[in-house]
Amino acid sequence: MTIRAIAARCFYLCFFFTGYTMANCDFDTDDADSPDFMDKIIACEKQKQTTKPRPSKTNNDAIRLYGDGTVNPQSGISERPVVAAGSMNHSAQTLYAARQAFSLRPDAKFEESVTIAIQRLYIDMAHYCAQGWTIESQWTEPNPRQEGDYFLHHTFRCAD
């Protein structure tokens, strides 16, 4: 066994037994020579899986543009943003949550299509974030009132 292999093995064992995880999983060409190189890769992948935050469906700090709105913690009153019709607004870095209903039923009208739902969501995004936005998450939930009907949700953040 070469000195390099011994050093690599000692390095790996030190990390393994102390519980220290590698901050980044960068490997150099010398690492490929070690007999436990695959173990390092597997450990790195497991570390990435456990440290990677999972996106949540709802974000508590998002301003909901539907439903009962957001509860103001100081007043306890549920609020929704109100804007004048035809106005364009922009609040940098503000997070919003919006949803639109759509239907996949065979007898659904064109106005209930997912295409129109997406268009309406983009109109909401343009209305609240006139200088641009980033879509942070998107998901669909069934509408419990009608089989074949769904809600398309978007959380989006206004650009700087």
Residue 88 has a pLDDT of: 80
pLDDT at residue 79, as a whole number: 65
Which residues in 129-138 are b (16+ Cβ under 10 Å) and which e?
beeebeeeee
Per DSSP bridges, beta strands 70-71 and 78-79 are: antiparallel
State how far the Cα of 35 lies from the Cα of 50, in Å rounded to an integer.
Answer: 25
Sequence-separated contacts (24+) of 49-57 with Cβ below 8 Å: 55/136, 55/137, 56/137, 57/137, 57/139, 57/153
The pLDDT assigned to 80 comes to: 63
- Which residues of the chain register pLDDT less than 50? 13-23, 52-59
- 79-111 per-position pLDDT tens digit: 666 666 667 888 889 999 999 999 999 999 999
Rounded distance between C-alpha atoms, residue 106 and residue 128, angstroms: 33
For position 45, what pLDDT does the model report?
72
User: How far are the Cα atoms of 97, 127, 153, 154 from residue 112, in angstroms, in the given order?
Assistant: 20, 21, 15, 17
For the stretch 139-150, pLDDT in tens is 999 999 999 999
- Looking at residue 140, its pLDDT comes to 95
Q: Can you give the pLDDT at residue 24?
A: 52
pLDDT at 91: 84
What pLDDT sits at residue 58? 42
Neighbour count for residue 125 (Cβ, 10 Å): 21
Q: Are 58 and 91 in contact (CB under 8 A)?
A: no
